[in-house]
Amino acid sequence: MSMTGTINEHIVASRPASAQPDLRLIEVTRRYGPVTAVDRVSLDVARGEFVTLLGPSGCGKTTLLKCIAGFLAPSGGQVVLRDEVMNDVLPHLRNIGIVFQHYALFPHMTVTDNIAFGLRMRKRPRAEIARRVAEMLRLVRLPGFDRRYPHQLSGGQQQRVALARVLAVEPVLLLLDEPFGALDKKLRVEMQIEVKQLVTLLGMTTIFVTHDQEEAMRMSDRVAVMNGGRIVQCDTPAEIYDHPRDLFVADFIGSSNLLEARIADGHGGRRRVEVAGVLLDLPASAISARPGEVTLAMVRPDNLTLSDMAPADHPAWMGVVSFALHAGSVMEYEVVVNEACRLRVSRPRRQAENTQVWSKGDRVAVSVVALDAVRVFPADTALGAAAPSP
């Protein structure tokens, strides 16, 4: 497994025919004096793929976006778009569409003029422009809005105009810079679905930047988790969730229980690991630490289940429920095993089989649902340095 995330195998596995990647980032680096904002990032994006750059503020995702767009020149590496090296090309000649965080609609132009802008820059004939604008308005479901001004539109409508404006010129690549930040939750989810459907329909290669991991998981074909200027892991959302490569990814995506672990023994494809006092039998591939290193085990709350007594063949922790919360569709529990070990457990409230509900003070046994989804990391990779390959 490679370190920085160029995962050609995944592309081959999940995408049909089209051979050459649409966008290649080759060791792209961007420095500001002593600070390295983007550190040798390499990434291949296939045509029509939707890749999200996900990470906390300051991880370099916006800087990387600007390098791709051409507003910043990389200090090193290359940006290659459809087999053409873009480093020297001025941003207005790259034919890359960008939707900005606050949409950047031209306030002094009508919706029509906004959408037509790119076409006018390319000197298309009037009739064609008119036709295309109408087409775009239909596409984003805003017919009849042609004469309005941006300040007369709601947030969601502005966003759709921003999309229409960008799609009108049929860009080679679409860049979306945290476009849903300004919308409220419900509208956000609606727009996420709408935008994804739209770009899929058009087969548009898309790079999406966000710090919201739910958004990333929901929309992307692949997610590139970034930290400190590097891509730490780039995989499908399911892979990232189930098999995070290191502690940073495990902690950043979803919630997790991090428990003291000690690799006891094992051979072949399995290891026995003592996790907070309980011996678990895990596949060797789940462990990315060397023997003798201090390690932490990661178990997701939804990967734990409760029972009154320890099940016969499953190792379990015994503890007392310290709180039980009705959080919408799930029950969230905290079970205190001992001072050093408090387990978060999340169970759905309604399910086919009978789901028991526990309350504060109950004695319970906590066991792992899927051992394969437990991961063991070296304890000092919390800062996100890539783990060494086993």
Partner 1 sequence: MPEPTAVTEATVAALPGRHLGGRVGHAAFWIGMWAVALAALLYLLLPTLIIVFASFTAGEYITFPPQGLSLRWFVRLLALEEVRVSAWRSLFVAIAATAGSVVLGVAAAFPLVRSRFVGREALNAFLMSPLILPSLVYGLAALLFLSAIGVPLSLPVLILSHVAIIVPYVLRTTVASLALLDPHLEEAARSLGANAWKTFLRVTLPNLLPGITTGAAFAFISSFDNLTVSLFLAGPRVETLPIRLFAMINFDLDPAAAAISAVLVLITFAVVLLGHWTVGLTRIARL
Partner 2 sequence: MPATLFLLVYFAVPLGMLFFWSVRARGVPGLTLINFRTLLSDPFFLQTLWLSVRLSLEVTVITLVLGFPLAYLYTRLGAGWRLTILFVTLLPLLTSAVVRSFAWIVILGKQGLVNTVLMGSGLLEAPAKLLFTVDGVRVALAQVQLPFMLLPLINALEQLDPSLEQAAVSLGASQARAFFKVTVPLSTPGVVAGAILSFALTISAFITPAMVGGGSFIVMPTLIYQSAIVTLDWSTAATTALILLVVALAVVWGGMMLARRFRYGVEHA
- Residue 110 lies near partner 2 (rule: CB under 8 A): no
- Residue 264 lies near partner 2 (rule: CB under 8 A): no
Nearer to partner 1, 89 or 369 (CB): 89
Q: What is the C-alpha separation between 139 and 119, in angstroms, rounded?
A: 17
- The owner of tokens 């090296």 is 85
How many residues of this chain bind partner 1 (CB under 8 A)? 18
Least distance CB 108 / partner 2 (angstroms): 4
Task: Pick the closest to residue 163 from 195, 122, 203 (CA basis).
Answer: 195
* Exposure letters 266-301 (e unless 16+ CB within 10 A, then b): beeeebebbbbebebebeeebbbbeeebebbbbbbb
List 10, 24, 30, 165, residue binding partner 2 (CB under 8 A)? 165
Q: Which two three-digit tokens encode residue 157?
A: 């409508």
Q: Which span (77-85, 300-308, 329-337, 377-385) binds partner 1, by CB under 8 A?
A: 77-85
Residue 205: name its binding partner from partner 1, partner 2, none (Cβ under 5 to 8 Å by kind). none
Q: What is the C-alpha separation between 240 and 65, in angstroms, rounded?
A: 22
Taking the mean position of all CA atoms in its chain, how far away is CA 4? 16
Least distance CB 155 / partner 2 (angstroms): 11
Nearer to partner 2, 100 or 330 (CB): 100
List 75, 78, 95, 305, residue binding partner 2 (CB under 8 A)? 95
In terms of Cβ atoms closer than 10 Å to its own Cβ (0-12, 13-18, 19+), residue 360 is: exposed
- The owner of tokens 């792992």 is 368
Per-residue binding letters, 223-242, with partner 2 (x by CB under 8 A): --------------------
Nearer to partner 1, 85 or 325 (CB): 85
Q: What is the C-alpha separation between 69 and 63, in angstroms, rounded?
A: 10
Contact 301, 315 (CB under 8 A): no
Q: What is the C-alpha separation between 149 and 109, in angstroms, rounded?
A: 6
Other CB atoms within a 10 A radius of the CB of residue 183 amount to: 18
List 23, 79, 166, 296, residue binding partner 2 (CB under 8 A)? 166
Concatenating the DSSP letter of every residue in 260-284 gives EEEEEEEETTEEEEEETTEEEEEEG
Nearer to partner 2, 109 or 385 (CB): 109
- Residue 92 lies near partner 2 (rule: CB under 8 A): yes
- The owner of tokens 């966008």 is 23
- Residue 118 lies near partner 2 (rule: CB under 8 A): yes
Task: Pick the closest to residue 205 from 80, 103, 96, 102 (CA basis).
Answer: 96
How many residues of this chain bind partner 2 (CB under 8 A)? 30
- Residue 30 lies near partner 2 (rule: CB under 8 A): no
Q: What is the C-alpha separation between 173 and 115, in angstroms, rounded?
A: 17
Site residues for partner 1, window 80-99 (CB under 8 A)? 80, 83-85, 88-90, 92-93
- Residue 300 lies near partner 2 (rule: CB under 8 A): no
- Residue 108 lies near partner 2 (rule: CB under 8 A): yes
Contact 235, 53 (CB under 8 A): no
Q: Which two three-digit tokens encode residue 242?
A: 């189930």
Site residues for partner 1, window 15-34 (CB under 8 A)? 24, 26-27
Per-residue binding letters, 42-61, with partner 1 (x by CB under 8 A): x-------------------
Residue 12: name its binding partner from partner 2, partner 1, none (Cβ under 5 to 8 Å by kind). none
Least distance CB 295 / partner 2 (angstroms): 45
Nearer to partner 2, 69 or 345 (CB): 69
Residue 156: name its binding partner from partner 1, partner 2, none (Cβ under 5 to 8 Å by kind). none
Q: What is the C-alpha separation between 386 and 144, in angstroms, rounded?
A: 52
- Residue 272 lies near partner 2 (rule: CB under 8 A): no
- Residue 205 lies near partner 1 (rule: CB under 8 A): no
Contact positions vs partner 1 (CB under 8 A): 2-4, 6, 24, 26-27, 42, 78, 80, 83-85, 88-90, 92-93
Contact positions vs partner 2 (CB under 8 A): 69, 71, 90-98, 100-102, 104-108, 117-118, 121-122, 149-152, 165-166, 169
